[in-house]
């Protein structure tokens, strides 16, 4: 065995060694075995001679892989020592190009330089996918490759000698695959006896499993062209120590030594010649030699003639005789005597003869054992050959089964064609194609006829298609001509529109501005677009004072519909530099949630502005927004007047943007999102409710969603909410009227509160008839109170328990005095005033505290104000209701005090003399006083 150390090239490093560079990761050990001496072991092992039956199949057919059809070529180049580095550089520059070029059906498995073995030697292993045709194709192409021819010419100046072989893979061996390095590689070469290749393959098919645990087996090959009966095994190890441990571990496995033993007999050995003195040279045999050979005694020939049973009986008899003779010799020695020595010598001679018999029987037994093992091994060799044939046949069967399955699963192209039905076929197809008399009984002819008819139809359709294409080209030409005419018409229209601007301004017909608005409206989201269209239509048809406009950045709106540009490549260099110079601090969880909340509450860059003008020149400015991620609309409101208003203290919340539109429809306070899906979105980013964000985003009233055509059913939630123009149109007129009414009522309350804070109850001339001419009680105080303060009043519990004191209402406290009597009135003002009347709760401080719980007349006074409010509404739209209720309350206090009975024990005049005319002072067990004023008679009566 001649070991070789090799350094591997860059190409082989990529294919077998994995990444890395340097001498440590590219070491390979190659060894070639040449056997010339007989194995001098036990004489049994030397007697085994394998006989192989002649075969009719080639070794390559039985041993190689049929499914890959790969052919390998191994090259051994002996390089001049001074040219080794230049040779490696040259091969690394040229050979990988052939490996990577797809035009050449070859791939470079590996390049090595020998370390141990033949020094200054390079080894190359090529793979040709496709067998000999691929090899010839590659050789023909290389003859025309100028770069490769120059490479060969330059390489020839560096070489001392070279040789190569064409190899095939063993079917049971791994195919060479890339593996992670660093590794060293050992190439072991065996030269076999002719005719023992199959025996070698059978033994190594079993032995390879002992060398697979560490994945050291790279490839196994046998020569096909070149020096024949040569086998190459390629192994990979991490280092020499790993090689030693791996090989020792294999010898410790049961069965490995037996396989090695059986492969030893297949190796080629030099003939061993034994000569005696004066013996003629081999090959010069004389007649006397031939005659002398026949006189030799051969125990091997005698074994075939002897009966083993008789030899066994002879063996037992000889042993018994030896025992007897030994006993007699011992007995003679014990007795002694003059004649004992002669008898002992006689028996000793007899014992020696028996010992010679035993030695002969022993030799015969060993010869029989050798022949038995030879016969067993020959039978085993036949079984292995049959087993190999069986495996090949099973592979062929599996291959044929796959081909049969493919054939059974084969689908013709005509099965994909949707043919017309049989009834339609026989009805429409001409007789020369349908051939009913032939096709009705023959499915095959019927299918062919249907395919002919399909072809005929398709030809007709193709002709019609060509006609349509020609017509289409004519129409396209006409369209191009008209487009050119229209494109030339556009500048003229623009000049006409520009010239007509003064006329538009004079006639109040801003067509150009409207056109720009409609161009901008194309970029609105669907809900805002529906609102814009419907509000514009309503303004043109019903309310000329309604103006609609669009605000915001059109460029940002356009950017929302453009795909994001991939700027990652442009900024990759700068990002890499920033990462090297600075360390970015990872945002905390709170910052991430804030960013997610801002993204979720993001508004569309465009908004719709509605200006609703009232009769008193006051304007309600409404700005509608669309929250893209929540799919809802919000609104912000602002009221302006023609003249600057002096805001009373109690009127602070009347025109505030947060409450001016609250409860425009009952229960619609705009603090909660109308989309049920938003709650799940809020949970992901930690938003508890939308109430905390309405001041910045606007209020998501339900009527706002309907104006935008959005509807969120609660019983059956929809995955995608679609805008509906009809929904917006059905609510537009009603909502606009309610908005005007709300603004007018709030402005009326604003003016009234300014008078009430100065103690003046403003009563219009249209409502003077509702009250007597003289009212003594006066309003001395009018202030606003908080909802919490209202609920803590002891005389308002009935209203709170009845659920009439919601947090969306406005709360006020009025104080009416007359003399020592003080009447407190807690007022609940609903946002829907004046369609929903205010609610009064009374508490009289005069001769004690009197409320509706301890005084029936106080309850009657509350009924006069709260229940009989329709008498106090005055002319439409009823904005004087609150002031009329307060004036009525003053009148009722006068009646209550004047009709109270005088205490005779108290001297002096009556504190509250009766000035009102009453038919009866009291009625009923509860002694209810006459609180109803009768106009025009001017007296008070009971209801």
Partners of 841 in beta bridges: 826
What's the pLDDT at 284?
A: 36
Instruction: Count other C-beta atoms under 10 Å from residue 474's C-beta.
Output: 10
Share of the chain above pLDDT 90, in %: 32
Greater confidence (403 vs 904) lies with 403
What's the pLDDT at 61?
A: 67
Q: pLDDT tens digits for 329-345?
A: 999 888 887 778 888 88
Q: Which of 171-180, 273-282, 368-377, 742-751 has the lowest mean pLDDT?
A: 273-282
Q: Which residue shows structure tokens 């008789």?
A: 310
739 and 855 Cβ atoms separated by less than 8 Å: no
Q: Which of 453, 413, 407, 403 is nearest to 432 (CA)?
A: 453
DSSP state of 565: P
Q: pLDDT tens digits for 532-551?
A: 999 999 988 888 888 899 99
Q: Which of 662, 572, 565, 557 is nearest to 608 (CA)?
A: 557
Residue 396 has pLDDT above 50, yes or no: yes
What's the pLDDT at 64?
A: 73
Residues 6+ apart with CB under 8 A from 232: 74, 167, 187, 188, 189, 190, 220, 221, 222, 223
626 and 638 Cβ atoms separated by less than 8 Å: no
Half-sphere exposure of 636 (CA within 13 A, CB side): 12
**Widest Cα–Cα separation across the chain:** 193
Q: Which of 376-390, 585-599, 725-739, 809-823 has the lowest mean pLDDT?
A: 585-599
Q: Which residue shows structure tokens 């004066």?
A: 278
Question: Would you list the domain boundaries of the chain?
Answer: 70-253, 318-406, 417-496, 523-561+600-741, 759-901+910-941
- Average pLDDT value for the chain: 82
Question: What value does the mean pLDDT take over residues 82-86?
Answer: 91
The sign of the dihedral angle between the CA atoms of 319, 325, 329, 330 is: positive
813 and 826 Cβ atoms separated by less than 8 Å: yes
What's the pLDDT at 11?
A: 37
What's the pLDDT at 5?
A: 41
The pTM (predicted TM-score) of the whole model is 0.48
List the structure tokens of 75.
Answer: 């090259």
Distances, alpha carbon 590 to alpha carbons 141, 246, 629, 685, 691, in Å: 68, 58, 21, 10, 21
624 and 530 Cβ atoms separated by less than 8 Å: no
Q: What CATH number is given for 70-253 in this structure?
A: 3.30.70.100
Question: What value does the mean pLDDT take over residues 571-594?
Answer: 58
Distances, alpha carbon 887 to alpha carbons 779, 864, 882, 884, in Å: 9, 12, 9, 5
Question: What value does the mean pLDDT take over residues 380-402?
Answer: 93
pLDDT band per the 50, 70, 90 thresholds, residue 265: low
Residue 754 has pLDDT above 50, yes or no: yes
Question: What value does the mean pLDDT take over residues 12-34?
Answer: 35
Question: What value does the mean pLDDT take over residues 877-898?
Answer: 90
Question: What value does the mean pLDDT take over residues 102-122?
Answer: 88
What's the pLDDT at 912?
A: 85
Q: Which of 337-346, 731-740, 760-769, 777-786 has the lowest mean pLDDT?
A: 337-346
The sign of the dihedral angle between the CA atoms of 517, 522, 525, 531 is: positive
Question: What value does the mean pLDDT take over residues 286-294?
Answer: 45
What's the pLDDT at 25?
A: 34
> Which contacts of 611-615 are long-range, i.e. CB under 8 A and separated by 24 or more positions?
611/546, 611/547, 611/549, 612/543, 612/545, 612/546, 612/736, 612/739, 612/740, 612/743, 613/545, 613/546, 613/547, 614/740, 614/743, 614/744, 614/747, 615/744
Q: Which of 187, 188, 223, 10 is nearest to 111 (CA)?
A: 10
What's the pLDDT at 529?
A: 92
Q: Which of 507-511, 524-528, 648-652 has the lowest mean pLDDT?
A: 507-511
Q: Which of 630, 735, 719 is nearest to 674 (CA)?
A: 630
Question: What is the layout of strands, in order, in the sheet containing 547-552?
Answer: 547-552, 606-613, 619-627, 632-640
Distance between CA atoms of residues 854 and 689, nearest Å = 44
DSSP state of 918: B
On the 0-12 / 13-18 / 19+ scale of CB atoms within 10 A, 559 is: exposed
What's the pLDDT at 701?
A: 93
pLDDT band per the 50, 70, 90 thresholds, residue 68: low
Residue 899 has pLDDT above 50, yes or no: yes
What's the pLDDT at 286?
A: 43
Distance between CA atoms of residues 415 and 487, nearest Å = 52
Question: What value does the mean pLDDT take over residues 499-505?
Answer: 74
Residue 470 has pLDDT above 90, yes or no: yes
pLDDT band per the 50, 70, 90 thresholds, residue 708: very high
pLDDT band per the 50, 70, 90 thresholds, residue 718: low
Q: Which of 636, 673, 642 is nearest to 657 (CA)?
A: 636
Residues 6+ apart with CB under 8 A from 124: 74, 75, 77, 91, 95, 108, 110, 111, 112
Distance between CA atoms of residues 634 and 671, nearest Å = 11
pLDDT band per the 50, 70, 90 thresholds, residue 910: confident
List the structure tokens of 545.
Answer: 């004072």
On the 0-12 / 13-18 / 19+ scale of CB atoms within 10 A, 821 is: buried
What's the pLDDT at 735?
A: 92
Peptide bond into 877 cis (omega under 30): yes
Q: Helices 340-409 and 197-207 meet at what angle, rounded to 10?
A: 80
Residue 12 has pLDDT above 50, yes or no: no
Greater confidence (809 vs 36) lies with 809
What's the pLDDT at 206?
A: 80
Q: pLDDT tens digits for 832-842?
A: 888 899 999 99
pLDDT band per the 50, 70, 90 thresholds, residue 586: low
Residue 47 has pLDDT above 50, yes or no: no
Q: pLDDT tens digits for 403-446?
A: 999 988 888 877 788 888 888 888 888 988 888 888 888 888 98
919 and 930 Cβ atoms separated by less than 8 Å: yes
Residue 478 has pLDDT above 70, yes or no: yes
Q: Which of 621, 571, 631, 624 is nearest to 600 (CA)?
A: 631
pLDDT band per the 50, 70, 90 thresholds, residue 288: very low
List the structure tokens of 413.
Answer: 């192209």
Q: Which of 869, 606, 877, 867 is nearest to 737 (CA)?
A: 877
Q: pLDDT tens digits for 147-160?
A: 888 898 899 999 99
Q: Which residue shows structure tokens 């008899």?
A: 317
The sign of the dihedral angle between the CA atoms of 586, 591, 597, 603 is: negative
What's the pLDDT at 584?
A: 54
Write the DSSP string, 131-196.
SHHHHHHHHHHHHT-HHHHHHHHHHHTTEEEEEEEEEEEBTTSPPP----S-BEEEEEEEEBPTT-
The sign of the dihedral angle between the CA atoms of 415, 419, 423, 425 is: negative
Distance between CA atoms of residues 673 and 705, nearest Å = 10
Q: Which of 429, 437, 486 is nearest to 455 (CA)?
A: 429
Helix (H, G, I), strand (E, B) or coil at 127: strand
What's the pLDDT at 464?
A: 94
Helix (H, G, I), strand (E, B) or coil at 521: helix
What's the pLDDT at 616?
A: 79
Question: What value does the mean pLDDT take over residues 844-860?
Answer: 91
Residue 7 has pLDDT above 50, yes or no: no
Distance between CA atoms of residues 523 and 546, nearest Å = 22
The sign of the dihedral angle between the CA atoms of 369, 370, 375, 379 is: positive
Distance between CA atoms of residues 915 and 923, nearest Å = 19
Q: pLDDT tens digits for 219-248?
A: 999 998 988 889 999 999 888 888 988 888
Question: What value does the mean pLDDT take over residues 582-596?
Answer: 68
Peptide bond into 553 cis (omega under 30): no
249 and 199 Cβ atoms separated by less than 8 Å: no
List the structure tokens of 45.
Answer: 């092992």
Question: What value does the mean pLDDT take over residues 377-395?
Answer: 93
Helix (H, G, I), strand (E, B) or coil at 563: coil
Half-sphere exposure of 341 (CA within 13 A, CB side): 1
List the structure tokens of 604.
Answer: 């569309």
Peptide bond into 936 cis (omega under 30): yes
Helices (H) and strands (E) in the chain, counts: 30, 20
What's the pLDDT at 829?
A: 93
**Can you give the C-alpha Rg of the chain in angstroms?**
59
Question: What value does the mean pLDDT take over residues 570-579?
Answer: 50
Segment of 181-185, 285-289, 351-355 carrying the highest mean pLDDT: 351-355
Residues 6+ apart with CB under 8 A from 836: 830
First to last CA, the chain: 135
Question: What value does the mean pLDDT take over residues 126-140?
Answer: 89
Instruction: Count other C-beta atoms under 10 Å from residue 638's C-beta.
Output: 13
What's the pLDDT at 164?
A: 93
What's the pLDDT at 378?
A: 93
What's the pLDDT at 289?
A: 47
Write the DSSP string, 161-176.
EEEEEEEEEBTTSPPP
DSSP state of 909: S
């Amino acid at each position: 065995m001649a070991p070789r150390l090799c350094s591997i090239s860059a190409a082989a490093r990529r294919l077998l060694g994995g990444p890395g560079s340097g001498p440590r990761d590219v070491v390979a050990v190659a060894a070639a075995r040449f056997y010339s001496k007989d194995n001098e072991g036990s004489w049994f092992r030397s007697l085994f001679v394998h006989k192989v039956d002649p075969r009719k199949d080639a070794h390559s057919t039985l041993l190689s892989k049929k499914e890959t059809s790969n052919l390998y070529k191994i090259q051994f180049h002996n390089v001049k020592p001074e040219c080794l580095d230049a040779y490696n550089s040259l091969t690394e520059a040229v050979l990988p190009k052939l490996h990577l070029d797809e035009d050449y059906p070859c791939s470079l498995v590996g390049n090595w330089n020998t370390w141990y073995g033949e020094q200054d030697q390079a080894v190359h292993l090529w793979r040709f996918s496709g067998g000999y045709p691929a090899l010839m194709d590659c050789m023909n192409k290389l003859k025309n490759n100028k770069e490769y021819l120059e490479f060969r010419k330059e390489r020839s100046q560096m070489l001392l000698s070279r040789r190569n072989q064409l190899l095939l893979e063993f079917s049971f061996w791994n195919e060479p695959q890339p593996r992670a390095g660093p590794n060293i590689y050992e190439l072991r070469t065996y030269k076999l006896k002719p005719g023992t290749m199959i025996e070698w393959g059978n033994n190594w098919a079993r032995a390879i499993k002992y060398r697979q645990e560490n994945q050291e087996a790279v490839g196994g090959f046998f020569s096909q062209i070149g020096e024949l009966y040569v086998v190459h095994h390629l192994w990979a190890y991490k280092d020499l120590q790993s090689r030693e441990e791996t090989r020792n571990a294999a010898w410790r496995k049961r069965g490995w030594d037996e396989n090695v033993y059986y492969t030893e007999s297949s190796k080629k050995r030099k003939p061993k010649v034994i000569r005696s003195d004066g013996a003629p040279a081999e090959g010069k045999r004389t007649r006397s030699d031939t005659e002398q050979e026949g006189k030799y005694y051969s125990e091997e020939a005698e074994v075939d003639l002897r009966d083993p049973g008789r030899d066994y009986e002879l063996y037992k008899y000889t042993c018994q005789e030896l025992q007897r003779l030994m006993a007699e010799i011992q007995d003679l020695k014990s007795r002694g005597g003059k004649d004992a020595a002669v008898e002992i010598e006689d028996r000793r001679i007899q014992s020696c003869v028996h010992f010679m018999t035993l030695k002969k029987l022993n030799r015969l037994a060993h010869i029989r054992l050798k022949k038995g093992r030879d016969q067993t091994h020959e039978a085993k060799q036949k079984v292995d050959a049959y087993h190999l044939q069986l495996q090949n046949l099973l592979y062929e069967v599996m291959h044929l089964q796959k081909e049969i399955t493919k054939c059974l699963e084969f689908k013709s192209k005509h099965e994909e064609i949707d043919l017309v039905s049989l009834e339609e076929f026989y009805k429409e197809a001409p007789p020369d194609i349908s051939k009913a008399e032939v096709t009705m009984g023959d499915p095959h002819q019927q299918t062919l006829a249907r395919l002919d008819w399909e072809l005929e139809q398709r030809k007709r359709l193709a002709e019609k298609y060509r006609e349509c294409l020609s017509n289409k080209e004519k129409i396209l030409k006409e369209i191009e001509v008209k487009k050119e005419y229209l494109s030339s018409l556009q500048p003229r229209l623009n000049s006409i529109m520009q010239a007509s601007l003064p006329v538009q301004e004079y006639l109040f017909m801003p067509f150009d501005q409207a056109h720009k608005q409609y161009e901008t409206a194309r970029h609105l989201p669907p809900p805002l677009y529906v609102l814009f269209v419907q509000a514009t239509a309503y303004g043109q048809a019903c309310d000329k004072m309604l103006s609609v406009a669009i605000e915001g950045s059109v460029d940002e709106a356009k950017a929302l519909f453009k795909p994001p540009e991939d700027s990652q490549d442009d900024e990759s260099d700068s990002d890499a530099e920033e990462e090297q110079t600075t360390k970015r601090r990872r945002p905390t969880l709170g910052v991430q949630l804030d960013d997610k909340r801002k993204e979720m509450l993001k508004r569309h860059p465009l908004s719709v502005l509605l200006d609703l003008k009232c009769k008193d020149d006051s304007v309600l400015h409404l700005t509608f927004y669309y929250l893209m991620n929540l799919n809802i609309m919000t609104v912000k409101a602002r009221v302006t007047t023609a003249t600057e208003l002096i805001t009373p203290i109690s009127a602070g919340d009347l025109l505030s943007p947060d409450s001016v539109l609250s409860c425009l429809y009952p229960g619609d306070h705009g603090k909660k999102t109308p989309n049920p899906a938003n709650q799940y979105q809020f949970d992901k980013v930690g938003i508890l409710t939308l109430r905390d964000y309405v001041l910045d985003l606007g209020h998501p009233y339900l009527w706002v969603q309907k104006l935008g055509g959005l509807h969120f059913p609660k019983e059956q939630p929809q995955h995608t909410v679609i805008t509906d123009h009809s929904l917006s149109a059905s609510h537009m007129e009603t909502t606009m009227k309610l908005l005007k009414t709300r603004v007018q009522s709030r402005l009326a309350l604003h003016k009234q509160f300014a008078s009430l804070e100065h103690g003046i109850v403003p009563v219009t001339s249209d409502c003077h008839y509702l009250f007597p001419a003289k009212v003594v009680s006066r309003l001395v105080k009018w202030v606003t109170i908080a909802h919490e303060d209202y609920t803590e009043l002891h005389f308002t519990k009935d209203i709170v328990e009845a659920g009439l004191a919601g947090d969306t209402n406005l709360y006020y406290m009025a104080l009416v005095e007359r003399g020592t009597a003080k009447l407190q009135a807690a007022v609940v003002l609903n946002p829907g005033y004046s369609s929903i009347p205010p609610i009064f709760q009374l508490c009289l401080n005069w001769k004690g505290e009197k409320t509706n719980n301890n005084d029936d007349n106080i309850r009657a006074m509350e009924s006069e104000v709260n229940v009989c409010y329709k008498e106090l509404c005055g002319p439409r739209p009823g904005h004087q209701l609150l002031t009329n209720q307060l004036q009525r309350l003053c009148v009722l206090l006068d009646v209550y005090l004047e009709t109270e009975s005088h205490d005779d024990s108290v001297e002096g005049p009556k504190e509250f003399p009766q000035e009102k005319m009453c038919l009866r002072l009291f009625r009923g067990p509860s002694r209810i006083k006459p609180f109803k004023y009768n106009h025009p008679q001017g007296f008070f009566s009971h209801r």
